[in-house]
Structures are given as C-alpha cells and as structure tokens.
Structure 1
Amino acid sequence: MTATRTPPADTGTSGPPGPRSPRAQELARLRRGLRRRAGAARRRVRSTTRRWASRAVHAWRSSLQVRIGAITMVVAGTVVIIVSLVLFSQIRDQLLSVKRQAAIDQAQSGVLDAQNEVDGIATGDASSVRATLARTVTALQQSGGAAGDFDVVMIYRSGDTEVPGTSRAFIYQALPADLRADVDAGNQSYRYAEIPDDTGEPRASLVIGAPVQGDTASTEQIELYYVFPLTQEAESLALIRSTVVISGLALTMFVVGIGVLVTRLVVDPVRRAAGTAQRLAEGQLEERMIVRGEDDLARLATSFNAMADSLQRQITQLEGLSQLQQRFTSDVSHELRTPLTTVQMAAEVLHEARGDFAPHVARSAELLSAELDRFERLLTDLLEISRYDAGVATLEAESTNLGALVARVAAGMYSLAERHGCELTVDRPEEGVFAEVDARRVERILRNLVGNAIEHGAGRPVEITLAANRTAAAVTVRDHGVGLSSADAQHVFDRFWRADPSRVRSVGGSGLGLSISLEDARLHGGWLQVWGQPGAGAQFRLTLPLTDGGELTSSPLPLRPLVIRSPGSPA
C-alpha cells in the first residue's frame, strides 16, 4: 500500500529559491537597465551643473563687467521688489477699503428697509415667516447699490429654531460662525471669507451682518447678511500685480543695462590698457593706446603712452649696454687668446728647463705655469658665459648613461680629494640610468659641484648620489664642511661671489663655475638647487628630465639631507 503525501500549506516562510521565470528575469534586466540609465542621467546632470558653476565662478572672478551687472541686478531687484510690495499693499488696502465702505453703507440701508418689511411678521406662522423673509430678500436684492453684485441672507431665529431666507440656498451654510456670533450679540460686523459660487468653487467675499430690530418678542431675532463677491477686486489686483511685476522686471533690466553700459565705458579702456601692457611685456615696445577726447580716460591713455615711451627708451639703452658688454667680454676673451698662447708656450719652455735655474727662479717658473693655466680656464669660462649672455648656447643632447658619467667624474676628482684629505663616495643604482642630455655640459656641472664640495668640505667625506624615476634623474653632491646660511644660498650662483671674501681658492676656480653650471642646467630644462646650514655642510641637487624637452614636476632625491650632523660631531 502506497501512502500519498499532501503538500504542506504555505506558511509564509520562503524555502530555497528556485529558477526564476523568463518574465521575472526580463523584469530584473529592465530594472537594472533603468537604474543604470538613472545613474548615468544623474552623473550627466552633476557634470553639467559643475561645468556651468565653474563657468559662472570664472566669469565672476575674471570680469568686472559681470560683477557690476550681477550686483546691480541684485540691488535693483531688491529695491523693485520692496517698492512693488509696498505699492501693491497700498493699492489692495485702498480697493478693499472703498469696497468695504460701500458695502457697509448698503448694508445699513438694507437694515432699515428690512425693518419696514418685517414689522408685521406673524411670528407664530412658519409659512408666513418664510414668505416675509423671501419677499424681503427679493426686495433688498432688487434695490442694488454702489458696492456691486451681492447676495442676501435673512435668518429668523426663535429659540433654537432658525428659518432662513436667502437669494441662494448654499450661502446660508457658508456664513462664518464668528460673524454670526457677533451679530447674535447685537453688533454689526464684517468678515472676509471664502463663499462658494454657483459651481461650488470657493471665492473671496466680503460678508456683512447686522441684526434687524423689529416688534418681535425678545426671544425672537432677525439677522441680515450681505455677501459681496470680491471677483472684480481680485481681477483688478491680478492685473495690477502682473503690471507691477512686468514693470519691475523692465525697470530692473533697464537699470542693469545702464550699469553694464556705464561699466563698459570705463572697463573697455582699462582692458585696452591691459592688452597694450601685455604686448609691451611680450617685447612689442612700439605698442601705444589710442587717445580720444580730453576726459580722465584720455589722460590715463596719455600717461600710459608716456610711460611706454620712457620704458622703451630705457630698455633700448639697457639692451645697447648689454650688447656692448657682451661684445666687449667676447672680444676681450678672443683677443687675449693669442697673447695667452704665446705666453703659455714661453712658460712651458721655462717650466721644462726649471731644473737648470736657481731655486727661486725655478719656483717662479712653476707659479707662472700654474697661474697661466688658471688664466686659461678663466678665459674659457668667460667665453662660455658670453655665449649664454648672447643666447647662442646650444644643447647637443644624446642618450647618455648617467651612472657611468658620475663614475667618470668621481674618478677624475679622486686625486683632488686625496690632496684635501677627504673621502669621496658614490651611491648609484646598479642598473644604468639613461637620459637625453649633453654629456659635456652635465660632466662640467658635476665637476664644478664636486670640486666646490671638496674645497669647502674641511676634509670630511663628500657623498655623490644618483637616483631616477619615470620622468627625471637627480644627482646630489653632499659635503659636511662649513655650510651655507640662507642668505648665502641666495647668492651662491652669482658670478664671482664668495661666502668669505678673505678665503683663498685652493682649487683654482675662476669664480664662474656655479654660474655656468646653473645655465647648463637651465639649458637642459632642469633644476640646480642648493641647501646649506652653517657648520652642517651643504648639498647641491641637479635634476634633469630623462627626455630632451621634458618638463619637471618633482625630483627623485630630496634637497634637504635626511640625516644632518650637528656641528662638531665626528665625520
């Protein structure tokens, strides 16, 4: 016998999910697509908003005319809004005051007419009361008045019983309760209320109520209500409001236009002056402003042109003097080359024959040869500086292994380091560092830096470090000698500058080495920087782009050493 199991009833708990139907999968895909589109739309809106905000901020910062126009619009708009609100409020109050006074006068007249109609009312007969109220309401509505269209409601109340008479039945139920309480207390009063029209839509109305005195018993009372629709007044106020808004906008735009026009009359000459000044700064010394009229702007243009004339004369004079100085330096250097060669030849003969001379004559021959070598280096440096001053220095860049170049410079300076009793160390990557540089100029920079470090290192170690990243290579030369103050660091690359004028150059430099090194670094598009601290030594950093014409954004090595020894600490 086989038992049949009945499936359990659904208790609301979910079991393991089964395969979804194609319709559910399609709905899920639609939802994902809608979410992606919504996300893309939000991103586009944010991007557009940021772009327009950026443009607005740029226009605000860069244009005086935009700022003046915006400020004028805000101020004029604020004034127009305040004046419009005050004017509209006064007009509205005046319209309602006239309407209210005419309505009160008409209501008071209607009360007198109603008293004559209800004097003989039969208080005990309900049908007679309704007929009298209906007749009175009809008569009051036909009488008309200066307050315009209106509806009339009369209420006869005896104890808790009320018998209304009204021109339109639905108005009776819409009478304000607080107004009825005032009238029930024997007062004439009015209220502004929303009373429905024939279509049932509420409309603003003025409701005036007053008690009607008659010969009825004290337990009986008759109330009279006038309902004056404010439709005409609302239409008039709407027309006035639109007129005020349009007039305010037109007045604001007119004031803004005047402000922008006046600002443009002032800003345009300033812009022309700025453009002329920029062209003057770019070297177009013949640029001048056009002078029109005799006002303040014309005087500004005249003064600007006078200043430009003076600058042109002075710059021309300075250029002439600079060219004369450059030509003089170059000519003197070239002219000295021939007699220097002759003197060097004679000095070499004397130097080679110094063994046959007396000791003091032999020493003089050695000094003569050494000083002539120094003189030749000075002439070479002067010629190099004159080429930089004339702007004719050129870069012969080719792929160079900077590691090998640094090692070659260090090997050439070992003998000088030994004479000064200092240790020369080199830290460079094992793999080659290749850069498109002028090897002759970079080698000259490093020789100047290492020689300068040895001379001022006070016999302490001199460290040369090479490093590179994806865009740049850097070499630092660190000494632990006398160091530099912040004031000295600002002048260390000046020509013929010495931190201590009484200090004699033991290396025999010309005083132009660091100046030429700085120009060589700039010719490569690189940096040559210095850090120094009195008693803690100095560090020079040369940073070069790996490719010819590349731009530097950072250096692979820090300018300030990571470890700084205090003055007096052992090396």
Structure 2
Amino acid sequence: MTDTQGGLRGWSAGRRGSLSRLRFTSLRLRLVLVFGLVALTAAVSASGIAYWLNREAVLTRAQDAVLRDFRQEMQNRAGALPEHPTQDQLQRAASQMAASSQRFSVLLVAQDADGKTVYGNSGGINGFALEDVPKTLRAAVTRRQEVSDTNKEPYHLYWQRVTEDGTPYLVAGTRVIGGGPTGYMAKSLEPEAKDLNSLAWSLGIATGLALIGAALLAQAAATTVLKPVHRLGVAARRLGEGKLDTRLQVSGTDELADLSRTFNNAAEALEQRVAEMAARDDASRRFVADMSHELRTPLTAITAVTEVLEEELEAETGSMDPMIEPAVRLVVSETRRLNDLVENLMEVTRFDAGTARLVLDDVDVADQITACIDARAWLDAVELDVERGLHARLDPRRLDVILANLIGNALKHGGSPVRVSVRQADDSVVIQVRDHGPGIPEDVLPHVFDRFYKASASRPRSEGSGLGLSIALENAHIHGGEITAANSPEGGAVFTLRLPRDASELTEENGEGGRDTKTDQHRPGEEGS
C-alpha cells in the first residue's frame, strides 16, 4: 500500500513538474508570438507604406517626364503639320516624335484633303495601332470641351495605365488645338516595374530579418523573465514538499526581485511558525507520555486494591456493607476505565512519535477473529461469516486491537446481533463489521475516527474515551490499510477494514525487524468511540 501511494505521489509530482514546464514553455511561446506579431505588424506596415510611397514617386516621375515630352512633341511636330496632312507626312512626324528622349511609340490620326482617315505609326505596319488605345481614352481625347473661364482649351491631354501581356504601359492622347491630327502615345513601364519588384523583394527580406530579430529578442527577453519565474516555481514546489529552508537568491531591484524577497520572507516566517508548532507539539506529546507513565505507578496500586474489593463483592459471604457496595462498584468501574484511558493515551503518543512498530506473524484470519470474540465473551452477540484457511502476514496483536474496537463499538452503539464478514480482494483482506442499530448521523460520519470525538455532546461521560476508533485507524494505517465508515442501505452502520495480506514490505522499508517491546505489553481492549 505504501509503495503504491509513494509511486502515485512520485507520478503526481513528476506530472506536476511536466505540466509546470509545459506552462513555462507555453508562456515563452506566447511571448515570442507577441513579439513576432508586433514586429511583423510594424515591419509590414512600414514596408507597405515605403513601397506605396516609392511606387507613386517612381511612377509619377516617369509618367510626368513622358507626358511632358509627348505634349512638347505634339506642339512642335504635330502642330507644324497642315490641317489635312497626307499619310507620309503623318508617318514622318510620328517617327520624329518617337525619336525623343523618352522613346515612346506614337500614333497620329488625321483626315486628308479627300476626307479620308489616314494614320501615321512610328513602328510601321505592326507598330502601335488605334485598337491598342482603350475606348474610354479615345472618347475622352476626341470629345470637345466647352470653353469657359475655368476651361480655356477645347481639348486636353488624357492618360491611362494599362497592362498588356503582363507588361505595364502608359497610354496617353491629345488633339492639336485649332485643327490638326490626334496623337496617341504608348510607353512601356517595365523598367519601373522591375525597380518596384526589386524594392518589394528588398522590403520583404527586411521584414523577414526584422521578424527573425524580433523572435531572437523575444527569446532573450523570455529567458530573462522566465528564468526567475522558473526558479520561483521550483522553490515553491520544494517548500510544498516540506523543505522549509528553501530560499531564493535575490539580485536586482525590479519586480521579480521584490517577488523573490517576498517569497523568502514568507518562507522564513513559515519555517519559524512550523518550528514553533512542532516544538509545542513535541512538548504536548512528551507531556502526555510522561503523564501517562507517571499515572501507571499509582494506577497499578489502585488497580490491585480495586481487584481485592471486586473479589469481596463477588464473594458469597456477603461481608461487605450493602451501603457502600454501590460506591465500591463505581470505584472499580472508574478505575478500570481510567486504566484503559491511560493505556490508550500511551498508545496514541507512540503513534504520534512514530515509535509504533509491527511485529508480523502468519495469521489465520478466521481464528484471529474467533479468538478476539471469545476472549471478550461476545460469541452470543456476533454472527461470523468467515472462510477458513484465509491467511495473512500481519501483526496479530494490532489486528486484535482493531477488531476489538470495531466489534465493541458496534455492540455498544448499534446493539446485537453484529455481523462480521471476511472476504479476499486481490492482495487484500476485507473485513466488514455491521450492526443493526440506527446507523451513524450524516454529520457525524466525517468525524467518527477523530480523537475524543463523541456524537452526543449531552453524554460527555460515556463509557468510551473517544480514542478507540482513532487507535484502530492508526493500527490499520501502520499495516498500510484503511478503515471506512458508512451506513448500510438496509439499516445500521458498516465499518470496512482493508488490510494487505502481506505487510512485510512495510517493515523492510522502515527497517523494522525486532520485536516491539513497548507495544507488546499493552492491549487497549474494546474501547469504543
């Protein structure tokens, strides 16, 4: 039983440690993610703004230069043509315009003397054509505007950006004022697009580097912040395990240093308080033990006298005065009760001091229960349901104490018949003691094993001392077993004792091998709760 409990405690502690490490890792991950998201947002925002500003600047600069050159060429070249030029004139003017510094394609459209529409293309037959100009742009260019104070010219220069086969172009058009050809221009923006793509790649790389740098900074910051937190968690676990001398090394003046100082102060106060409580507890145990031992000497003499008086009471001569007979019986009863109380107190002090030891032997459970009942003359009041041949390696004296307390408590508070049943469950022996009384009140059930607890406050001087069930539970615990109390659905209280079939492992772990001379001399009897 103890091995299993220790294993469970170890597993639980390891699991708590794993969960703690997972929590720290999760916190570290959250810090890194927050840093990364902040850096990513800032880098993307800065890169987007920078790209947009540079894009507008590059395109506007290129566009303004091309449109300015095109307007100048339209004034100089196309404006010098006659009102009804020939196709050769248009072709020659378009070629001259295309040879400007901006190197754009030109298309001139006009009507000759016969009213026929003629075209002049700087690129020849397969060059820039009217179909390459968006319809909306053509309509805007040829639309005549009303001349007013705010609009001095009937025709204006219009432009539009288009994409052809993945390549961006700037297309513009205007008409010569006062009669003349309509001119269109197309300029490839591929160099500018390449420059913008290079800029986008550069900004993307810069964003990635910023993200990596933010992750590294977050990792460093998380390590700086979480290392003291981890040390604090380890110290708190050690403190929870009972290592009250645990302290943290404090350095710095930040909030974590203040937290470490607070932890150290709390640990020091806790250690001092526990030491004071332990000292008072030791003093109390020593007082009870010393008092019990001191009482045994006069009790031995008193017990001898009461035995003589009891023999006089049971004698048939009738020599005792009938007037003092009730007082003598009271003295005998109270002396026996006081003797049992002292012995019980000594047993309790052994459990509290950790000096109680097991003296193991091979026990026939059925014979042990029968001997316990027979020794106390309970055979007529107890029903047995025990299989013969069920053996266990236990301490027979302590098992007798447990059984005497459970059965005696059932007879005292529940009344006969009391049913005792035994069964084997895996590697354990399960003994149930059930009475047919009114049962245990629900508010009393959690306290039936408490020391000096009595269900009825109006009967403080009941026959029991309130230590019997507590001693029975301690004897079960020292075997690695357990006792539980409950109410049967059919009526009455049920106490269930579960003990291992072999308690040798407990004695080996605790280094027990010798005989327990202190506890071997004592049998608490059938003290109830």
The question of a shared fold, defined as TM-score above 0.5 by the shorter chain, is answered with yes
The answer as to whether partners of 1:115 and 1:213 remain within 8 angstroms in 2 is: no
CA contact (8 A) 2:137 2:160 kept: no
Q: What are the Cα deviations for residues 435-479 of structure 1, in whole angstroms up to 9, with x where unaligned?
A: 66545434433432232233222x476454555544655444444
Q: Compared with structure 1, are the counterparts of its residues 515 and 114 closer, same or farther at alpha carbon in structure 2 (3 Å cutoff)?
A: farther
**1:143 correspondence with 2:112:** no
**Match of residue 496, structure 1, among 443, 452, 457:** 452
Tell me which residue corresponds to 1:206: 170
TM-score by length of 2: 0.71
Match of 1:195 among 145, 158, 164: 164
Query: Counterpart of 2:139?
Result: 182
Residues 176/138 of structure 1: CA separation in 2 closer, same or farther (3 Å cut): closer
Which residue of the partner structure matches residue 109 of structure 1?
Answer: 72
Q: Secondary structure of 1:329's partner?
A: helix
Task: Give how far 1:115 is off.
Answer: 1.8
Amino acid across the alignment from 1:347: T
Secondary structure of the corresponding residue to residue 248 of structure 2: coil
Bigger RCO (CA 8 Å, 6+ sep): 2
Query: What's the CA shift string for 1:166-196, capped at 9, x where partnerless?
Result: 5383765983644555357447443333224
What corresponds to 1:94 in structure 2? 57
- The aligned counterpart of 1:46 is none
* Cα separation, 2, equivalents of 1:56 and 1:285: 23
Percent identity over the alignment is: 29
Distance in 2 (alpha carbons) for counterparts of 1:153 and 1:304: 86
**1:387 to 2:350 alignment:** yes
Decide whether the 8 Å contact of 2:94 with 2:107 is kept in 1: yes
1:336 maps to what in 2?
295
Question: How big is the shift at 1:433?
Answer: 6.3
Match of 1:190, SS state, is strand
CA offsets 1:490-521 (integer angstroms, 9 cap, x no match): 33222111111223676x43321121222233
Q: Quickly say closer, same or farther: Cα 1:315–1:56, change in 2 above 3 A.
A: closer
Q: Does 1:521 align with 2:493?
A: no
**2:195 match:** 236
Q: Check conservation: 1:326, 1:386, Cα contact below 8 A.
A: yes
CA contact (8 A) 1:484 1:534 kept: no
Measure the CA separation in 1 of the matches of 2:501 and 2:216: 56
In 2, the alpha carbon distance for the partners of 1:67 and 1:414 equals: 73
Instruction: In structure 2, give the amino acid aligned to 1:206.
Output: L
Offset, 1:488? 2.5
User: One-letter code of the match for 2:188?
Assistant: F
1:121–1:156 distance in 2 versus 1, CA, 3 Å:
closer
In the other structure, the counterpart of 2:495 is: 540
Counterpart of 1:327 in structure 2 is: 286
Q: For 1:222 and 1:383, how far apart are their aligned partners in 2?
A: 123
- After superposition, residues 108-507 of structure 1 pair within 5 angstroms as 108-113=71-76, 115-116=78-79, 119=82, 129=87, 131-132=88-89, 134-145=91-102, 150-154=104-108, 165-167=121-123, 169=126, 172=129, 175=132, 177-179=134-136, 181-182=138-139, 185-186=142-143, 188-196=157-165, 202-211=166-175, 222-229=182-189, 231-252=190-211, 254=213, 261=220, 265-292=224-251, 298-354=257-313, 355=315, 356=317, 357-358=319-320, 359-360=322-323, 364-396=327-359, 415=378, 418=381, 424-425=382-383, 437-457=394-414, 459=415, 462-467=418-423, 469-470=425-426, 474-479=430-435, 481-503=437-459
| Cα separation, 1, equivalents of 2:409 and 2:392 | 25
In the alignment, which residue of structure 2 is the partner of 1:74?
37
Distance 1:133 1:400 in 2: 127
Secondary structure of 2:404's counterpart equals: helix
- Across the two proteins, how many residue pairs are aligned to each other? 469
CA distance in 2, matches of 1:174, 1:403: 113
| Offset of residue 387 of structure 1 | 1.6
Kept after mapping to 1: 8 A contact 2:167/2:188: no
Deviates more, 1:159-168 or 1:494-503: 159-168
Change (3 A) 1:177 1:290: same
CA drift at 1:391: 1.6
Residues of 1 paired with 2:101 and 2:464: CA distance? 119
My pick for the range that moved more, 395-404 or 68-77, is 395-404
Q: SS of the counterpart of 1:344?
A: helix
Q: Please give the alpha-carbon distance, in whole angstroms, between the structure 2 residues aligned to 1:471 and 1:157.
A: 115
Equivalent-residue separation in structure 2 for 1:191 and 1:461 (angstroms): 109
Partner of 1:84: 47
- TM-score by length of structure 1 reads 0.67
Instruction: Evaluate the alpha carbon distance shift between residue 94 and residue 516 of structure 1 in structure 2; reply closer, same or farther with a 3 A threshold.
Output: farther
Q: CA deviation at 1:388?
A: 1.4
> What is the deviation of 1:534?
13
Deviations 1:326-384 (A, max 9, x none): 22322333343344334333433333343143245555555444444433332332222
Is the contact between residue 121 and residue 128 of structure 2 (CA under 8 Å) also seen in structure 1?
no
Aligned residues of 1:289 and 1:301 also touching (Cα < 8 A): yes
CA distance in 2, matches of 1:208, 1:396: 111
Distance 1:179 1:282, change over 3 A: same
Query: What letter corresponds to residue 192 of structure 2 in structure 1?
Result: E
The AA in structure 2 aligned to 1:191 is Q
Contact 1:464 1:477 in 2 (8 A): yes
CA distance in 2, matches of 1:472, 1:166: 107
* Alpha-carbon distance in 2 for matches of 1:273, 1:57: 12
Q: 1:524 to 1:68 in 2, by over 3 A?
A: farther
Find the residue that maps to 1:207 and give its secondary structure. Answer: strand
**d(CA) in 1 for partners of 2:109, 2:53:** 36
Alignment correspondent of 1:11: none
